[in-house]
Amino acid sequence: MTLKLNNGIEIPQIGAGTWTLRGDIATDNVCMALKAGFRHIDTAQMYENEAEVGQGIINSGVARNEVFLTTKIAPPIMREGEEAVRKSIDESLTKLKTPYIDLMLIHWPVKESVKFTWKIMESYVREGKIRSIGVSNFNPNHLEDLLSYAEIRPVINQIEVHPYMSQEENIAFNRNLGIQIEAWGPFGQGDIDIVGNPTLQSLAKKYQKTISQIVLRWIIQRGLITIPRCKPKHFTENLEVMQFSLTDEDMQLINGLNQNLRSNPRNNPENFPW
């Protein structure tokens, strides 16, 4: 199942995250994710695994044009200036072993560098080296600023979303601007005890699904894109969330778990730069 971005490009609603995956583990994880049926991979310059992710795509045998590949520009590179940003995009293309990137995001709103970074990203779209551009961890004020000069509207804002951080207002704000939300950290990065929640436990029992599947289904059913990271043993389980649905009442029950709780206070864009 895919969603249409505001530039007409389709994105698979569920993808595989790769944060913390390094070396052969990253290559094998990406290769196995694609073999299991994923067609969307999320990486970032900061994850230091772009070369391995690129190799994993090649090893999978899945054609490049069947995979939606996202990477993100790292804050330290944005701070270095325009030349560093251009060089880093060229390096991402080389490491990922691809003639084009499907989606390039500004990873964090590095205030003084967003404008020139966006302009550079727009120029790569015009050259055909990036198909879509977007942002990550942008609050409404960051987006309003960017939209005052952007010639190309962001297609996506990738933000933290899980049952304890439902982001209702932020999601509505982005939707009004035609910007899709991509949920990172759907399981609270493994740092919040989501599986211990009694409401989610009872829903898992009711639907005969795992708690992880209930969480992912809640995100998918809200019309969001998500990129859970997992070991290969969970690939099929996570993909199967496209095949069942939660009732409106149960969706509301999960909405009610919100505590505006981030997996780490560092992840609050208001606290950036760390």
Ligand X SMILES: NC(=O)c1ccc[n+]([C@@H]2O[C@H](COP(=O)([O-])OP(=O)(O)OC[C@H]3O[C@@H](n4cnc5c(N)ncnc54)[C@H](OP(=O)(O)O)[C@@H]3O)[C@@H](O)[C@H]2O)c1
Q: Tell me: does residue 12 bind ligand X (CB under 6 A).
A: no
Shortest distance, CB of residue 252 to ligand X, whole angstroms? 22
Name the residues annotated as catalytic.
47
Shortest distance, CB of residue 106 to ligand X, whole angstroms? 10
Q: Tell me: does residue 13 bind ligand X (CB under 6 A).
A: no
Shortest distance, CB of residue 18 to ligand X, whole angstroms? 5
Q: What is the 3-state secondary structure (H, E, C) of the chain?
A: CEEECCCCCEEECECEECCCCCHHHHHHHHHHHHHHCCCEEECCHHHCCHHHHHHHHHHHCCCHHHCEEEEEECHHHHHHCHHHHHHHHHHHHHHCCCCCEEEEEECCCCHHHHHHHHHHHHHHHHCCCEEEEEEECCCHHHHHHHHCCCCCCCCEEEEECECCECCHHHHHHHHHCCCEEEEECCCHHHCCCCCCCHHHHHHHHHHCCCHHHHHHHHHHHCCCEECCCCCHHHHHHHHHHHHCCCCHHHHHHHHCCCCCCCCCHHHCHHHCCC
Q: Tell me: does residue 231 bind ligand X (CB under 6 A).
A: yes
Give the residue, chosen from 60, 212, 214, 239, that forms a contact with ligand X under the rule CB under 6 A.
Answer: 212
Give the residue, chosen from 228, 239, 246, 254, that forms a contact with ligand X under the rule CB under 6 A.
Answer: 228
Give the residue, chosen from 33, 85, 130, 227, that forms a contact with ligand X under the rule CB under 6 A.
Answer: 227
Give the residue, chosen from 3, 19, 51, 242, that forms a contact with ligand X under the rule CB under 6 A.
Answer: 19
Q: Tell me: does residue 154 bind ligand X (CB under 6 A).
A: no
Give the residue, chosen from 115, 145, 234, 264, that forms a contact with ligand X under the rule CB under 6 A.
Answer: 234
Query: Which stretch, 85-93, 141-149, 199-207, 223-231, contacts ligand X (CB under 6 A)?
Result: 223-231
Chain positions contacting ligand X, by CB under 6 A = 17-19, 42, 107, 136-137, 158, 184-190, 210, 212, 227-231, 234, 237-238
